[in-house]
Amino acid sequence: MILSLIDSVRLVAISGLLFLAGTAAFAAGADDPGTGAYATGHYRNLFAETGHAQLEIQAKIDGAFQQLFHGDPATQAVYFSAGANSNGPLAYITDIKHNDVRTEGLSYGMMIAVQMNRQAEFNALWNWSKTYLYHDSPAHPSFGFFSWQAKTNGVAMSEFVAPDGESYYTMALYFAAHRWASGTGIYNYAAQADQLAGNLRHRAVIHGPLAMLRRDTNMVIMVTAGPLFDEAHQMILFSPSSERPPFTDPSYHLPAFYELWSRWGPAADRDFWRQAAAASRDFFPKAAHPVTGLTPDYANFDGSPVTSGRDNGAANFRFDAFRSAANWSVDWSWWGKDPMERTLSDHLQTFFAAQGLDAYGCQFTRDGKPLDPRHAQGLVAENAVASLAATNPRASDFVTALWNTPTPDGLERYYEGLLYMMALLHCSGEFRIWMPQ
């Protein structure tokens, strides 16, 4: 068929528009699935790579879950049933050492539950969170978010927000929507996730009273607080409060999650989440020490440690910072977009191997001076997850160290146990992206 001149011009114009649209989408990263598990569907099983049979691996995972969620309440469990209300059963996860409940643990518990296909536990934890911790008053500085800390009876100890909890709540809810399908009310997982994801970026700035319980004394302070992400830097905040200059926490950065929100979250924010993922990847090498790979607990947006304020030890590698290497390594495993994450894991594992795999402590200055000699099971767990990105053969030694570590019990079993449980899932290839059906 011979095209008319007008038809030819139209065809060229349409082709040009399609090319430009496709180029713009590619430039924005909208169509880039990376080279990791999101694109391939393959999740490395580090335990199998080190010689363990699948039945043995599954038994280890199931045993750890049983102990932490349904074991001896006096010495093993961190998950506790707490009656029921009109939305169904209630349950919380408690920090044994401090005898409180934290959004960190509740949201980690929900993530573990959805990965383990345990919807009853997931719903009970979400119901407790919404019942006791959620702020639905538009006048409250934490409106649309959760009190980060409460007593086991649900009474808030701090109505401040801890953004790591909100991030894990959001991701766990999206996975639940895809794995189990959304229900109604608070169990409309997709709607709840969308609402939280929107608030993370857009929550209005609110000035008002905020309650805290300190040393059995009730306090009310006036706070101005807004969203949980800094718009200019596209980074998560340590706290949305304007009580002090804004800064971040390296272990709160979750680029693997942001990539998914850029595909599944509210459409208006998808470019922002792609940019946030890129910003976190650029941030990690700035926050990590160039030799040890250790990050501080708190950092400025340029990666430099926070050295002023009430917490003078925040410039050191401490308990929050355990998680940084796992976060960048899971990002590499799922997306494979930034090879620097592999270098960071190699640096970190080189440092810890030099300390002795069975003996290293759990707190250090960023340049590696020891501050606490305790060999923490949670850090052993996170250092094993770093093997998802590491290139040196010694990475298998860290996986073996996790395998040989018993499920945490006793006083430290809350934080260490939840990190351990998630590490088992990551290192077995069972911590997965649950895609829309």
- Based on its alpha-carbon atoms, the radius of gyration of the chain, rounded to whole angstroms, reads 22
Active site annotation includes 320: yes
Q: Pick the catalytic residue from 95, 104, 297, 409.
A: 104
Residues 77/67, Cβ–Cβ less than 8 Å: yes
Backbone φ and ψ for 399, nearest 5 degrees, come out as: -65, -45
Indicate the burial class of 270 (C-beta count within 10 angstroms; 0-12, 13-18, 19 or more).
Answer: middle
Q: How far apart are CA 234 and CA 254, in angstroms?
A: 12
Q: Pick the catalytic residue from 100, 166, 297, 320.
A: 320
Q: How far apart are CA 130 and CA 5, in angstroms?
A: 64
Residues 237/250, Cβ–Cβ less than 8 Å: no
End-to-end CA distance of the chain: 43
Residues 403/60, Cβ–Cβ less than 8 Å: yes
Active site annotation includes 104: yes
Across the chain, which distance is largest between two alpha carbons, in Å? Answer: 86
Q: In one letter, which amino acid is 184?
A: T
Q: How far apart are CA 287 and CA 289, in angstroms?
A: 7
Residues 141/225, Cβ–Cβ less than 8 Å: yes
Catalytic positions, written as ranges: 104, 320
